[in-house]
Each structure stands twice: as structure tokens, then as C-alpha cells.
Structure 1
Amino acid sequence: MIAEGTPAPDFTLPDSEGRMVGLSSFKGKKVLLVFYPGDDTPVCTAQLCDYRNNVTEFTKRSIAVLGISADSPESHKTFAAKNQLPFTLLSDSSKKTAEAYGALGFLGMAQRAYVLIDEEGKVLLAYSDFLPITYQPMKDLLLRIDRA
């Protein structure tokens, strides 16, 4: 996983509408990158719905949430609509962004991970779960964010 305190690698990825979204466009804002293995799988759906259910907690902390997986923009569009996800999903089909953040697992799939980036583009928090069948409870994430 990328080291806390290091500069966050810039990236530009397509969203569910095919628009290109770059990390640099969030300069001056906190951003939470949420890496996950894939759309419409049981654990990933539970994970992303947990972020959806807690989106007001991120809004209160002025944090933009970006979900990232290797799935296509079309898959993201269907997945986001089906689960009413109120944040942007980005398609990392080349897996280069997951690799740059150290969130690429040994089987070539994105790990379940998050990276909190501060307003200046520095990594404040980084966490990766090596077991793809679980994810860190939201309560733990929010406590870590409040301490950062």
C-alpha cells in the first residue's frame, strides 16, 4: 500500500458517463479513494452501500468519495443506479491507478482498500485488506479520519 505522508500519484480515469476525472481537479479538497475488486459482487456491493449509507459523514468532513475498480464505465453506471450510489465510480481498466497506490493484489485484482488524500495532494491514510471477502468497518475508518 502507498505510504502515508507521500504525494498521491495523479491519475485521470473515465467515470460512469465516460467523462475523464483527474485527481488534480480535486486540489484544495480532501478525497477518499475507495478501491474495490468489482461491481455487483456480494462483498463489494455491501462495501459500497456502506459508503453510500455514510456519505453524510464524509460530506460533514468535506471529503469527496471516488470508487475505483477495473470495471467498465457502463458497468459502473448500472451498478451505481441499481444501488443508488451518490458518489463517482471510476474505471481503472488498465489497473495502473490501483498499482500506483499499491492496491493491486497478487492475482491482478484490486484489493479492498482506501486512501485519504489531503487538500495538497498528500496521502493522509492508507489501508488495504488482503482478504477480499471482508472490508474494514465504517466506524473504524471514520475514527481514523477524525484522528488524521
Structure 2
Amino acid sequence: MTKATKLLTALPPPQRARLMELAEEVSFPEDARIFEAGGPADRFWVIRSGSVSLTQQVTEIQRITVASLGAGDLLGWSWLFPPYLWDFGAEAFSPVRAYAFEARPVLRLCEEDPALGVSLMRIVAEILAHRLEATRNKLMEQYHLHRHTY
């Protein structure tokens, strides 16, 4: 598996500076639910410090962690795709500090600056491909563990 792409460091400096004009510094205490699968996705975050668990509900009572995110990682991509609902849940595994970005202003910026928009979409696509691979691997591990316990 390749090293995860970091959104802000992957953007060229002038584009990163324009995007950062829209950032708001936020924090989450340990164990805070940041969002739930199926909830409205209208923002994303770039983690500055701490750790976030992406979770998937596999049964009514069982939730598994499909990925752990840390400093520099993108949290949230569902704001880009209809129906604009979270695909996973997210929980602060430790105290988290992050940059928050509201989707609408970022999308307007991408329309105003198509080069930034293409760069941002290309980087998010790379992150999505990496996460999809990691999630698939995690789900296969869970499947094999579950299959061998019966």
C-alpha cells in the first residue's frame, strides 16, 4: 500500500494559500462523534493533530473502525457527491485539532479558479483510491475473522 496523500501539502503553495483563506480552526474532545453515516455532508476537515477513527456500522450493535486518520489527513469527502450524505461515521480517538472547510465556499472557489478545482479533485480522488483499498482490506480481515469463529 502506498503512503497516504496529504491534501494541503499536495496542493501547490498558491492554491493552498487560497484554500486556507476559507479554513476555520476547530477542535474535538476525545470520543466525540464528529459525524454519523447518513448525516448531511456539508464540510470537510484537515486534521492538524490527534487521531480520528472512520467507522462503519456492520450490524445494529457492531461498528468497526475501517481507517484511522492523523495529522495532515483529509476527513470527509461526501460533500463532493450527491446525495451529500456521509458514507462513514467519524469519532475523535484522541483530542483533535483540525482545519474545517465549509463545502459551498470551497466549491465556489473551485469554480472561480478552475486550476485549483482540478488540483483539489485530483488529490481527493487519490485519497479516495487509497482509502477504498484500505477499507476493502479491513473488511476482508473482518470477514475472515468472522468466518473462522464459527
Give TM-score scaled by structure 2 length: 0.31
Compute the TM-score of the two structures, normalised by the length of structure 1. 0.31
Answer with 1 or 2: which has the greater Rg: 2
